[in-house]
Structure 1
Amino acid sequence: MIQRCSDPKPIGDGLSAALARLEAARETHRKKIEAAALPGETFEQAETRLQHEKGQGARVAPDGSAKSDLSPAMIRKPPKGDEQPDFFVPTLYDVGGRDSRSLMDVAVFRLSKKDKRAGEVIRYDLSDGYVEVKAGSDGMASVWDYDVVIMAVSHLTEAMNRYREGRGDKPGRTFRPYVSDILKFCRRSDGGRQYEEVEAALDRLKTTTVKAVRRVKGKNGRILREASHEGLISDYRTVSQAEDGKLLSVEIEVPKWIYEEIVSGKNPDVLTVHPDFFLIEPGIGRFLYRLARRAAGKGAARWSFQTIYERSGSTGEFKKFCFTLRKLIAADDLPEYLLREEDGQSGPQLIMRYRGTPDLEISAGS
């Protein structure tokens, strides 16, 4: 039996099909790289990073981002319904996050979820004085509790901007959000326990105080010593449903030093915070972002592991702290900043560089 071959196709048709397949593969590759790119990362940087991770056992997370199996990710998945609505007027949670620059290079909170550190004191010796963080009987405020302070700073700054532009009244020290607004701003789910934890966080924020002592030059040239001592919030009041205790709303009084810092000057000393900051899971990762945001800005900064350890308020061993720090460097998914370790005369150094920037001169940390 003789099997007849089908009529041959023109060479041009086969070439067109091959080119179409190649173009489709390129488009798939492009979408994969763009989906895995970190905030501020260029296409080329993301492609290089993924190729490097592939050789070290990389995997793709459910949200499309590439993670290394050797290094746990810092960023958790956002909760359901996390998308911001496209409104013309910002809601209480739809305002860009801002933090007080004066407190971004020391931890005025604990970084551990487990160790409550009730009654403890952390002291940071600085070049012009020192800062003491004192915890009350409810425990020291955590870096996750501090999200509420960031929200208050953000809305106070926004209100002052509107006031200076003639679009609103001058804000007072009392901030009145709904609990649902707090959870939405901090990118947390609205489960029942989250509502309970908000009031507990307010207890810790009120009883965690910051004492700052600085040496300043007076008008006559004499060196003066200034000291201030206030809580991370001054006071609060909550309204709950009597039947089940579910929190409905809160009133938070911003401490005087934060209020004066934002209201008194023409250019408040605050810095924007990337929305993904609230998704950073480990406490040390959150501290690193705040440090990089202040020290590196849109450029780069170099800090020794030892100085970062001292400024973090960590109670663990320095060796274990370095191990954790290197895991975060390997994960390299901090919003906006690349992390790299280098050797230095005083020990290992952390290089924090804004993503997408060239190799600029690196400023040294304290």
Structure 2
Amino acid sequence: MHRVICWANPLTSGGHGQLLVGSLLSRIEENHAAYRKKLEAAALPGESIREIEERLRTEEKKRPPRQDLPTPRSPVAAKKAIPCPREHERQADSVVPSRYKVSARDSRSMMDVAVFRISKQKKRAGEISRYNLSDGYVEVTAGPYGMASIWDYDIVLMLISYLTEAMNRYREGKGEKPCRVFKSHVSDILKFCRKGDGSRQFKEVEGALDRLKGTTIKSVRESSPRNGKRSMREVESEGLISHYRVISRTDTGKVASVEIEAPNWIYREVTSGAKPDILTVHPDYFLIESGIGRFVYRLARRAAGKDDAKWAFKTLYARSGSTGTLKKFSENLRKVIATDDLPEYGLVEEVGLSGPQLVMMRRSDKKILK
């Protein structure tokens, strides 16, 4: 028969031991918070927690030891026994604005229909927009805070842009594979979107995140039978963002930092495959005031590319998700054509077989006539 000997732990025996345990736990939590604060204070733009620790270790090794004190053991160096993941498996804790200038980018798959409202006045809470396509349809459903606007979508453009930049660096062996979480200071968001940093803009960021999270995109695709295979129907539904976290100052009410989780469809599109279907957006896009003007630019960027494209007014009206009449939409579209200040593309109206149509051309093309 084996005897089991139980050793009494003086730290957990009796009330005094419980007080000691509580004290130790509090000290551990304080030390962890202080260590985390030290890392955040030493962070450079674009660094993850792991990168900060590695850089600090390197700097500590290069620094000559002090003669009056023994060389301290780094708490990070003590963790060498924990195996690190392989290089191709490592993933950053979050995507943060880097010290490199990042070009604005957009997902090509979402540039041919408006997955947002193009009007500033109507919030359209609870409404549904449906776009019929050749192989299915897309439905945009607004949440209780209203449908995300084309100006709210600027935050998604920033998310796509930095995720793409981080993924490009990872493919070049210059960083870790990005995760779905994007962390940023609100001032970085406003700067990227070329907006002012007044108190109104700070307050509007949280409202934009509410609308982006509540706006759901449902995509239905049907494939025709080929080579003996049956036809298939695929349905996917997800928000413009999956999750967000905002930290604000209670004394001023200003948003301090923002964490945004990219939806699966954006993350998959950027990180899977050698060449994601992402297009660069001109930086002056953010200066376009008209919602229709922004919508037309995105459509021109996708359809025209380096050539020209033609769209009937009726088709543009259907793709815009506008709740007004075709007549009113056409009036506003003609204002955009008359102003003709969109970056990269010139606009011309011409007569078509089924009514007026819009011609989009690269500004470098000499065929643009007034």
Q: What displacement does 1:327 show?
A: 1.1
The amino acid of 1:296's aligned partner reads: A
1:169 corresponding residue in structure 2: 176
Letter in 2 for 1:143: I
Report the residue type matching 1:244 in the other structure: T
Please say which structure displays the higher CA radius of gyration: 2
| 1:265, distance to aligned residue in structure 2 (A) | 1.3
Paired amino acid for 2:300 = A
Change (3 A) 1:147 1:281: same
Deviation digits for residues 301-351 of structure 1 (CA, Å, limit 9, x no counterpart) = 000000000000001111111111111111111110000011111110100
RMSD, aligned CA: 1.5
1:184 equivalent in structure 2: 191
Q: Which amino acid aligns with 2:329?
A: F
Q: Which amino acid aligns with 1:232?
A: L
**How much has 1:244 moved relative to structure 2?**
1.9
Q: Distance in 1 between matches of 2:288 and 2:185?
A: 23
> Is the Cα contact below 8 Å between 1:92 and 1:181 reproduced in 2?
no
1:107 to 81, 101, 114: 114
- The alignment status of 1:344 with 2:347, answered yes or no, reads no
- Distance in 1 (alpha carbons) for counterparts of 2:322 and 2:284: 24
Given the alignment, which residue of 315, 323, 326 partners 1:315?
323
Task: Note the alpha carbon deviations across 1:135-158, whole angstroms, 9 max, x for none.
Answer: 011000000000000000000000
Tell me by how many angstroms 1:91 deviates.
4.0
Looking at structure 2, the residues matched to 217 and 197 of structure 1 have their Cα atoms a distance apart, in angstroms, of 45
Q: Matched residues in 2 for 1:339 and 1:92: separation?
A: 36
Match of 1:270 in 2: 278
CA distance in 2, matches of 1:299, 1:261: 25
CA distance in 1, matches of 2:182, 2:290: 28
Q: Equivalent residue for 1:331?
A: 339
Q: Is the 8 A contact 1:93 1:184 kept in 2?
A: no
How far has the Cα of 1:93 moved from its partner? Answer: 8.4
After superposition, give the CA deviation of every residue in 1:146-176 in whole Å (9 maximum; x if it has no partner): 0000000000000000000000000000000
Q: 1:173 is matched by which residue type in structure 2?
A: R
Kindly indicate whether residue 226 of structure 2 is the aligned counterpart of residue 227 of structure 1: no
Instruction: From the superposition, tell whether residues 152 and 310 of structure 1 become closer, same or farther in structure 2 (CA, over 3 Å).
Output: same
Alpha-carbon offset, residue 359 of structure 1: 4.1
The answer as to 2:325 corresponding to 1:295 is no
Partner of 1:67: none
1:19-52 alpha-carbon deviations (Å, 9 max, x no partner): xxxxxxxxxxxxxxxxxxxxxxxxxxxxxxxxxx
Structure 1 residue 217: Cα displacement:
5.3
2:312 maps to: 304
**Equivalent of residue 118 in structure 1, options 125, 143, 150:** 125
Q: Partner residue of 1:203?
A: 210
Select which of 142, 152, 155 maps to 1:145: 152
The one-letter code matched in structure 1 to 2:248 is S
Partner of 2:252: 244
In the superposition, relative to structure 1, how do residues 190 and 93 fare at CA in structure 2: closer, same or farther (>3 Å)?
farther
Q: Give the counterpart of 1:355 among 352, 358, 363.
A: 363
CA drift of 1:129 comes to 0.3
Residue of 193, 200, 204 corresponding to 2:200 = 193
Q: Which has the higher contact order (CA 8 A, sep 6+)?
A: 1
Give the drift of 1:218: 7.4
CA distance in 1, matches of 2:313, 2:333: 8
SS at match of 1:286: helix
1:245 is displaced (CA, Å) by: 1.6
- Are the equivalent residues in 2 in contact too, given 1:302–1:350 (CA < 8 A)? yes
Query: Match for 1:187: what amino acid?
Result: R
Structure 1 residue 205, shift from structure 2 partner: 0.2
What TM-score, normalized to structure 2?
A: 0.71
Tell me the CA shift for residue 97 of structure 1. 0.2
**Partner Cα distance (2:309, 2:168) in 1:** 30
Instruction: Go from structure 1 to structure 2 and tell me whether the alpha carbon gap of 1:218 and 1:245 turns closer, same or farther (over 3 Å shift).
Output: farther
CA displacement at 1:243 relative to structure 2: 1.3
Are 2:137 and 1:130 aligned?
Answer: yes
- AA matched with 1:196: K
User: Counterpart amino acid of 1:325?
Assistant: L
In 1, Cα distance between the equivalents of 2:229 and 2:169? Answer: 38
Aligned partners of 2:294, 2:331: CA distance in 1, in Å?
17
Aligned to 1:77: none
The 3-state SS of whatever aligns with 1:356 is coil
CA distance, structure 1, for counterparts of residue 223 and residue 259 of structure 2 = 35
Give the C-alpha shift of residue 216 in structure 1.
2.7
* Matched pairs, number: 271
Q: Percent identity?
A: 65
Counting only pairs closer than 5 Å after superposition, residues 10-29 of structure 1 correspond to structure 2 as: none
What is the rounded CA distance, in whole Å, between the counterparts of 1:260 and 1:359 in structure 2? 39
